[in-house]
Structure 1
Amino acid sequence: METSIRNQVAGTVLEIVEDKVMSEVIIQTAAGKMTSVITTRSVRDMGLKVGDDVSAIIKATNVSIGKSA
């Protein structure tokens, strides 16, 4: 997979909510908070923990948009 700076967002892990199969990783970015849903196995394989610096890679087919109030 090719990536570019346009589809990456740097941030810091604020919280990880693990379930048996899927986990939510809440990331603080310069623009605000974002949540990524990845497998719990991926969280463990990467050794993710609160405070880690990460890069979120955004794929256009996986982005949901909601209108702000």
Structure 2
Amino acid sequence: MSIQAINVRNQFRGKVAAIIEGPVVSEVDVQTPAGIVTSVITTRSVKDLGLTIGSDVVALVKATEVSVAKL
């Protein structure tokens, strides 16, 4: 699965590794080959998408700023 309108560099295929559900928003951890990507989405979206542990998903990243610090 690939979303064609989004730059391929901003797509990470993976599986849902964890869901921390809250009353309004939830954290969804996606295990990708590059590591874990965490998304904060509405709990309603989690339910509407039918997300469960092990679901195959594509994490789409939209960032206007990325900070880098030297270790």
Give the TM-score taking structure 1 as reference length. Answer: 0.84
Larger helix percent? 1
1:43 and 2:46 aligned: yes
C-alpha change, 1:68 and 1:21, in structure 2 (3 Å) is farther
**Identity across the alignment (%):** 51
Q: Which runs of 5+ in 2 are unaligned?
A: none
C-alpha change, 1:60 and 1:41, in structure 2 (3 Å) is same
Q: Tell me the residue number matched to 2:17.
A: 14
C-alpha change, 1:48 and 1:5, in structure 2 (3 Å) is same
**CA shift for structure 1 position 55:** 0.2
Q: Aligned with 1:60: secondary structure?
A: coil
Q: How does 1:1-69 map to 2 (within 5 A)?
A: 2-61=5-64, 65=67, 67=69
Q: Which runs of 5+ in 1 are unaligned?
A: none
The runs of 4+ residues in structure 1 deviating greater than 4 Å are 63-69
In the alignment, is the contact (CA less than 8 A) between 2:16 and 2:53 conserved in 1? yes
